[in-house]
Amino acid sequence: MSGHAHKDYTGAKFGMWLFLFTEVLLFGGLFILYSVYLARYPQEFVAGGAQLNVWFGGANTLILLTSSLLVAMSITALRQGSTRFCLGLLGGTVACAALFLVNKFFEWSAKIDHGIYPGSAHLKELPPGEMVFFNIYYLTTGLHGIHVVIGAIVLIWTMVFIKTGRVHAQDWVILENAGLYWHLVDLIWIFIFPLYYLILH
């Protein structure tokens, strides 16, 4: 019976890593697209990047790093049998996800108020390179934001499983896979932040 459980565990982990690989390919393609246009419009990309708020980006980086730490701690807590502490840590992670999205909402709102959003008349008046920069910026950060929402839902779903006893100290692969997904969301932002907020300043 234990061998069968181990087989299922390995299969679940392999399936998750395979899924994460497809996600890496998706965002890797966007980063390659960014690099191609950066080489074509270096000055316009610098001008576009200078209009982004590095404090918003930095705050969200800190938030996601904190959330990844909480997820890692939650797995350790569950394996040690501290179910309540595990749920508290996961709740903190979900709160970090919400805070990240609130920050992103205010950041996007500031840009939209200035007429900078895909398809806007003001954006079309900018040099072609700047228009490309902001289109890729919205596409990449928007897609990442969707992943943050999905990650938070997956964590909440996992919390329900922990509360009902389906996930526990002897069977925690669902929590570990949820944690792996959340770490990927964090890792992708670690690439987004310097590419858009730091390198171009």
Higher pLDDT, residue 118 or 66: 66
* Superfamily for the 2-198 domain: Cytochrome c oxidase, subunit III, four-helix bundle (1.20.120.80)
With cut-offs at 50, 70 and 90, classify the pLDDT of residue 198.
confident
Range with the largest mean pLDDT of 1-15, 111-125, 173-187: 173-187
What is the Cα–Cα distance from 46 to 155, expressed in whole angstroms? 37
pTM, to two decimals: 0.91
Is residue 95 within 8 Å of residue 152, measured between CB atoms?
no
The pLDDT of 160-165, averaged and rounded, is 96
End-to-end CA distance of the chain: 58
**Where in the chain are the domains?**
2-198
pLDDT score recorded for residue 5 = 42
The pLDDT of 160-170, averaged and rounded, is 94
What is the Cα–Cα distance from 60 to 189, expressed in whole angstroms? 9
Task: Report the half-sphere exposure of 117 (CA within 13 A, side-chain side).
Answer: 10
pLDDT in tens, 103-148: 999 999 999 999 999 989 998 899 999 999 999 999 999 999 999 9
| Mean predicted lDDT score pLDDT of the chain | 92
> What DSSP character marks residue 171?
B
What is the Cα–Cα distance from 58 to 83, expressed in whole angstroms? 32
